Structure 1
Amino acid sequence: MNPLFPMQRDQRWLIGVRQVLLHMCITVLAIAIAFSLPAAAQYILYEWWPRVAHDANLLIATEVGLAAALVLLFNISHLAWQDRQKVRAADLAALAYARQQNNWLARWRERRLVKRLPAARDAFIFTLTGFDTFADETSLLRDPLKTAYEIRVMLLNPYARSAEARVNSLPQEITLHSFSREVRASIDYLASLRTMGKKVTLKFYDQQPFWKVVVLGDHVWVQYCHSGFEVKHEPEYVFALNRDHPRRGFFVPFYMYVLEQWGDPRHPEYDFDTGELVCRDRLGKEVKRVGFGAGDGRESPVLLTPQTA
């Protein structure tokens, strides 16, 4: 069983049946080839080769065909060796999936990947607006979040200077108003999850983002936030926790990156009941509350330190 894809019992049963059928087909094919070898050798030695010996054109055609077959065989062997090296590298990095384009085929493959995964108890999302990640009805993680119990989300504060700089680097059809509207849609969707009994925590950060990271169970989705380009059009990589060798792969580094961002006291927590941002010190003690977007939020973030008596 692939440690990158922990499967449920019914999935293991189907894969076991498929492996048995595959082994049966290979065995039947090997037996058929073994029984056909004597007849093939007899045909080549006693019927085909005498014709070739007396026909120059047939000899040339046979030589060309044999040379083409050998070239094809060597090329296939070379490609197989290269693919084997790539598979080893991907396995060492714990790369479970990667896509470059955001077309319907890539989305279909990614949805198949999500369906193969067992239901995750926890979800960790570090993104910009969250709209394309879970708020949009066609987003990939909208349904998996409904089965998760604890959901922690970090979004870019739409009232921060970094959000304005980010929007200014994007195409003209993307405005600060549309950016804020997407953030509001994400907040509303998270609020609806709270009404379903989910434990939802939302924080906002003010720095320019480098990564979009989504942790769902033992898998992490990663995209780099290039300046001037929408994240949804960037290549996406999915890394999985290697249960047999946890130190291998990029799951743990990206997971630790998200944990560090989450534990940073500069990032205020959103209060769904009051619509305020709750600022805390490094000990987790509440320091102050500010309205979401109060003062237009253009001031730089301030490090919060424990207040002394």
Structure 2
Amino acid sequence: MFHTSWFTIRTFLRDAGGSLYHIFIVALSAGIALLLPLGAKQFLTFWSHVEHDKFSIICMEMTVAVLLIAVLSYIHRSIRDRSMAAVATGAGLVSFFPKRTPAAQHHIKQLKEEQGTGRTIMVIGSSGYSTFVDQVGDLSSVLDKCLGAKILLVNPNGQEASARIQAMGHPQHTLATFREEIRQSIDLLKRLKAMGKAVKLKLYADPPLIKMVILGDYLWLQHYHADLDIQDMPEYVMRHNRKDHGLYTLYAHYFENRWESTEIPEYDLETDELVYRSRGGKEIRREQFESQAAAEESRATGKLLHINPDPPRLTASASLMNPLCKASESSESQG
């Protein structure tokens, strides 16, 4: 209720601001037109006093030169900014957040909530915890208002997840913590599915490259750095245009290719199984997700325990003892 009222008030203020802007421009132009005769009269009076004073003329010329330089520089910069804005508009780039300040974080969350309400959202991420599990995440409230979700997360049992955690080298980001974050994300998606939302989850095995959120006609993009936290990376916002040559189309096509890949299994939120399908959508096989993790852990433990299964032997001593052993054995047989 509060969000609906605030959205209505903000829409009214935005429309009223546009109307007030047009009224101000009309009033300003009328005032300038009325003051032109008085201004011309004052200028002629001023010129009659300084036209024979060389020092005043030189000062006035220098002032006019400085003003011309400032105005021409502003015009040049405006033309350049307009050309860059045209390039950004053609590419579909509408916003850029270089740093996650508290004010920017609040603004990002607010925009995502507006763009994702009543839509099917599509997400590519790492663990998903900081995105929609954490209460201050960007999509923590969006998932409650969306129609459905298609989510791609990293398989925590793969080798790439371990390599990613080791590369970051952060004491708080361990493999056990990462797997716990994945588990909490899965629990959240299970609750959303129980509420009747069309939620699907897939787990990919390769290292995370980008964090991407598609909310209708808007696409939010971040880059996963090798050894930096995703919260420290800039975030770009792209919008779909009718010409279909922007970056939105490129990344949306990338998501569809990843989602339809037969190498990425779907996570069954009811049975906790990884489901592999063919290109036609036919189910090929299933693998238990938890047992797979336990098998990999036991396999890793077995490798550590069986690196050198045989006890160390002193080959030189054994070769020296062989004749003695044979001699003792022959004497015992003779006896």
Give the TM-score normalised by the residue count of structure 1. 0.85
Aligned to 2:272: 275
| CA offset digits 1:137-165 (Å, max 9, x no partner) | 00111111211111111100111111111
Whole-Å Cα distance in 1 between the matches of residues 13 and 56 of structure 2?
A: 50
**In 2, Cα distance between the equivalents of 1:275 and 1:39?**
83
RCO greater where, 1 or 2, for CA within 8 Å and sep 6 or more?
A: 1
Counterpart code for 1:20: S
CA–CA distance in structure 2, aligned partners of residues 131 and 184 of structure 1: 9
Matched residue type, 1:199: A
From 252, 255, 268, the counterpart of 2:252: 255
Q: Which runs of 4+ in 1 moved over 6 A?
A: 8-13
Query: Given residue 296 of structure 2, which amino acid in structure 1 is its aligned partner?
Result: D
Alpha-carbon separation, structure 2, partners of 1:268 and 1:25: 59
Q: Indicate if the aligned counterparts of 2:116 and 2:145 stay in contact, CA closer than 8 A.
A: no
Segment drifting more, 54-63 vs 227-236: 54-63
Specify whether residues 141 and 73 from structure 1 end up closer, same or farther in structure 2 by C-alpha distance, changes over 3 A only: same
Measure the CA separation in 1 of the matches of 2:154 and 2:17: 46
Q: Which moved more, 1:63-72 or 1:111-120?
A: 111-120
Task: Give distance in 1, aligned partners of 2:259 and 2:80.
Answer: 40
One-letter amino acid of the counterpart of residue 296, structure 1: E
Cα drift, residue 10 of structure 1: 8.5
Q: 2:221·2:235 contact (CA, 8 Å) conserved in 1?
A: yes
Q: Residue 208 of structure 1 aligns to a residue in which SS?
A: coil
SS in 2 for 1:140: coil
Q: Secondary structure at the match of 2:201?
A: strand
**TM-superposed deviation, 1:80:** 1.1
Q: Is 1:120–1:216's contact at 8 Å kept on the other side of the alignment? A: no
CA contact (8 A) 2:116 2:215 kept: no
Residue 166 (structure 1) aligns with = 164
Offset, 1:263: 1.0
How far is 1:224 from its partner?
A: 1.9
Q: Deviations over 1:73-115 (max 9, x none)?
A: 1121112111111210111011121111111232233234335
Q: CA deviation at 1:207?
A: 0.6
Q: Which has the larger radius of gyration?
A: 2
**What CA deviation, in whole Å up to 9, does each residue of 1:14-39 have, x standing for no partner?**
54443332111111111111111111
Whole-Å separation in 2 of the counterparts to 1:23 and 1:118? 32
Question: Is the CA contact (8 Å cut-off) linking 1:166 and 1:227 kept in structure 2?
Answer: yes
Structure-2 residue corresponding to 1:265 = 262
CA RMSD of aligned residues (A): 2.4
Task: Find the aligned partners of 1:120 and 1:95 in 2 and give their Cα distance.
Answer: 23
Q: 1:298 to 1:282 in 2, by over 3 A?
A: farther
Q: 1:156 aligns to what?
A: 154
Task: Please give the TM-score of this superposition, normalised by the length of structure 2.
Answer: 0.79
Count of matched residue pairs: 289
- Shift, 1:298, TM fit: 10
Q: Secondary structure at the match of 1:117?
A: helix
Percent of residue pairs bearing the same amino acid type? 30
More helix by share: 2
Q: Which runs of 5+ in 1 are unaligned?
A: 1-7, 300-309
Shift of 1:9: 9.2
Structure 1 residues 220-259: aligned runs within 5 Å: 220-242=219-241, 245-259=242-256
Query: How far does residue 11 in structure 1 lie from its aligned partner after superposition?
Result: 7.4
User: Retained in 1: the 8 A contact 2:204–2:265?
Assistant: yes
CA distance in 2, matches of 1:61, 1:104: 49
